[in-house]
Structure 1
Amino acid sequence: MAMEFAKLVDGNQLPMLGLGVWQVPDGRACVDAVRTALELGYRHIDTAQAYGNEASVGKALRDSGVPRDEVFVTTKFYAGRKDPVAEAEQSLRKLGVDQVDLYLIHWPQGGPAWAWPGMERARERGLARSIGVSNFGADDLEQVIAAGSVTPAVNQINFSAVEYRRGLLDACLRHDIVLEAYSPLGTGRHLGNARVAEIAERAGRTPAQVLLRWCLQHGVPVIPKSTHRERIEENAQIFDFTLSGEDMAALDALDKTHGTDRALESTWW
């Protein structure tokens, strides 16, 4: 796999493709999915304290035989708890690693800025190489930046051709924050879109590959989730073709968010 990377504001590099393990049960399903991804050349695994599967991710990392320094590991602070440092230490024990590559506030519960000092301490103590946020809108980002001494390196959000949050992407770009897409396939909902299917047929690619490639051409890393080997392999084949300007514009036009700078249409916290 000819991997590409996004350079973070702190100088670290984030692989443009990763495997997300949201909704993957702890245990064999998660271990097998992560091991499969690593066998196929993925070098970026995204988990979270809220997912309850960090131990399985750690087991897969050890079993894979891939050197630790070759795999970019992300986990996320469960925002309903109090101390990002203590929770990071627990995550490291579960993952069986000395440090994660990226540690994110999972969502801005209780206000966007309160946990950021703890995230900075986690970075200072070497628990995480980079720190960032997830599900933060443009206003949330402004508050975090004003309150802290370190700019978030990443904002991981729900982002796809159908949720093309141009205002939020622009806000991230202004602050040198890398916007990272979760659910870039709409948890499968967008694969049946007629316009996506038409472009995929013309390009000789699958709908999933077209949707993921669209993100990459906007400079947005992606972490599609799958537990099926053929899908994990299919999702990786996105670095050897380019969508035309016309096709990109057609996909841009699928947006249903009206170019919002908000991370979500409704919150769960």
Structure 2
Amino acid sequence: MWSWCKTSTEYSGRAVGNEAETLTARAVRIPLLQEGEKPTPRSSIRGATIRSPGREDSLRRLGLKQIDLYLVHWPEGGPTWAWAGMERAQELGLARSIGVSNYDATELEAVIAAGTVPPAVNQVLFNPEHRRRALLDACGRFDVAVEAYSPLGTGRYVDDTTVVRIARRTGRTPAQVLLRWGLQHGLVVVAKSTHRDRIHENAQIHDFTLSAEDMAELDALDRTGGTDRALETTWW
């Protein structure tokens, strides 16, 4: 699948994304693929996250007629609250695919039970220190792709001693090791960067494989206990 650049454009029907965020959503088009997947013949990739389905307003602000992936940003108000509007957005051709973000396994199951179209994606905080095994397994059972946000821990984990040791052993950068770890766990990984050379470097993760020993060492960094929850604490 193709992943996307995200911007928060709606909150309870109000625009909260600033102009820079909107421009980023329009300008940054970087395809990231799951392991073994080949690019589809599309020249751009665009997307947005929303809190409520103010669909046409969101597209107008982005300057688009259709986006590839539209997400409910978090399940405040109940996991199914916005889903009928999301299905309608896809039905109207405003979004190719629809999904959710920060949904626990039980919340994901509720959306699937209530709706007619299952989420294509669940975007969650996922990295070696937040290896949510039970949630990943649940998404696998429901055939929902897991997209990892903060796969580098917002840059903090590139200095982790285990990550640095494996990077030296494999001749790769710590960021490449972390992204490759996600790829080998079947995740869609999106690393945020504003530096062109770093974006290019982070994409060079398809020509090597982490060993079982490497993966086990990184897995051992988990601090979630393999939870099925998307977050340890919520902000809503």
- TM over 0.5, yes or no? yes
Which of 23, 26, 49 is residue 76 of structure 1 equivalent to?
49
Equivalent position SS for 1:161 = coil
Aligned to 2:88: 121
Q: Is the Cα–Cα contact under 8 Å of residues 131 and 154 in structure 1 kept in the other structure?
A: yes
Partner AA of 2:105 in structure 1: A
Matches of 2:25 and 2:220, distance apart in 1: 40
Work out the number of aligned pairs and report it.
218
Q: How does 1:172-183 map to 2 (within 5 A)?
A: 172-183=139-150
Q: Is the Cα–Cα contact under 8 Å of residues 25 and 48 in structure 2 kept in the other structure?
A: no
Aligned to 1:47: 7
Which of 153, 159, 162 is residue 120 of structure 2 equivalent to?
153
Aligned to 1:103: 70
Matches of 2:95 and 2:134, distance apart in 1: 29
Matches of 1:215 and 1:194, distance apart in 2: 18
Q: Percent identity?
A: 61
Matches of 1:142 and 1:61, distance apart in 2: 32
Aligned to 1:169: 136
Q: Deviations over 1:43-89 (max 9, x none)?
A: x4333315434530355269xxxxx94222221112xx4xx1xx221
Matches of 1:61 and 1:236, distance apart in 2: 14
Segments of structure 1 that go 5 or more residues without pairing to the other structure are 1-13, 19-43, 63-67
Equivalent position SS for 1:143 = helix
Partner AA of 1:225 in structure 2: K
Aligned to 2:158: 191
- CA-CA distance at 1:98 after TM superposition: 1.1
Aligned to 1:132: 99
Q: How does 1:1-269 map to 2 (within 5 A)?
A: 14-15=1-2, 44-49=4-9, 50-52=16-18, 53-57=20-24, 59-60=26-27, 69-78=42-51, 81=52, 84=53, 87-269=54-236
Pick 1 or 2: higher relative contact order, CA cutoff 8 A, min separation 6.
1
C-alpha RMSD of the superposition = 1.8
- CA-CA distance at 1:96 after TM superposition: 1.6
Matches of 2:143 and 2:5, distance apart in 1: 23
Q: Is the Cα–Cα contact under 8 Å of residues 112 and 144 in structure 1 kept in the other structure?
A: yes
Matches of 1:163 and 1:191, distance apart in 2: 15
Q: Deviations over 1:163-208 (max 9, x none)?
A: 0000000000000000000000000111111010000000000110
**TM-score normalised over the length of structure 2:** 0.87
